[in-house]
Amino acid sequence: MVSTLSFATALGRIHLAWTAAGICGLRFMEGTLEHEARDAPAWVLEAIRGLMAHLAGQPQDLSRIPLDLSDLTPFQLKVAEILRSTKAGQTISYGEVALLAGRPGAARAVGQAVKANPILILVPCHRVVAAHGPGGWSAFGSLARKQRLLELERSGP
C-alpha cells in the first residue's frame, strides 16, 4: 500500500509517497494540494523534518532515510546506487555513470533512468550533469532549483 502527502519547503511544494519499506516517491509539484500528515508513521515525519531543514539551508544527512526502490528496473537500480554513492555536492556526468554501471557509451540510457527517478533528492539525480554543463533539470522545475540543491550539499551537514 502506498501512502502520500504533500508539504511546503523553502524550494517549493513536495509530494511524498511511501510504503512500509520506505520512501518510494518524492517530487516537486505545483499547486496547493495538501494531505494531512497525521496518519504518517514517525519515520516519515522525521524524514519530512530532515528534508524541510535541508532545503531551508540546514544541510542534513539524508542517506539514512529508508527507500523503497522495488519498482526500479535493474539498470535504474544500478544508476540509483551510483548516484547515492556520489559524494554530496559533487557532480558526475551521464557518461561517467554509464561507465560505472558497466555500460560504456550508454549515456542516453542513463539519462532516461535519471529522468524516470521517482525519488528526487534522496536518489540525488541533481548530481548528474551533461558533459557540456548542468543540463537535465526538468524534474526539478528549473535549473536554478537543481543548482540550489548542489549548493546546499556543498555547504555540508
Radius of gyration for the alpha carbons in the chain, expressed in angstroms and rounded = 15
Mean pLDDT on 10-30: 92
Give 83-139 as a DSSP string: HHHSPTT--EEHHHHHHHTT-TT-HHHHHHHHHT-SBTTTS-GGGEEBTTBS---GG
Model pTM score:
0.87
Q: Which residues of 78-107 are buried (b: 16+ CB within 10 A; e: fewer)?
A: bbbebbbebebbeebbbbbbbbbbeeeebb
Q: Which tens digits make up the pLDDT trace of 108-122?
A: 999 999 989 999 999
Domain ranges of the chain: 3-55, 74-154
Reduced to 3 states (helix: H, G, I; strand: E, B; else coil), residue 82 is helix
Question: 58-110: per-residue pLDDT in tens?
Answer: 988 899 999 999 999 999 999 999 999 999 889 999 999 999 999 999 999 99
- 24 among known catalytic residues: no
Is 18 in contact with 3 (CB distance < 8 Å)? yes
* 141: confidence class by pLDDT, cuts 50, 70, 90: low
Neighbours of 1 (CB within 10 A): 5
What is the structure's pLDDT at 20? 95
Identified catalytic residue from 11, 125, 128, 152: 125
Q: What fold is seen in the domain 74-154?
A: Arc Repressor Mutant, subunit A (1.10.10)
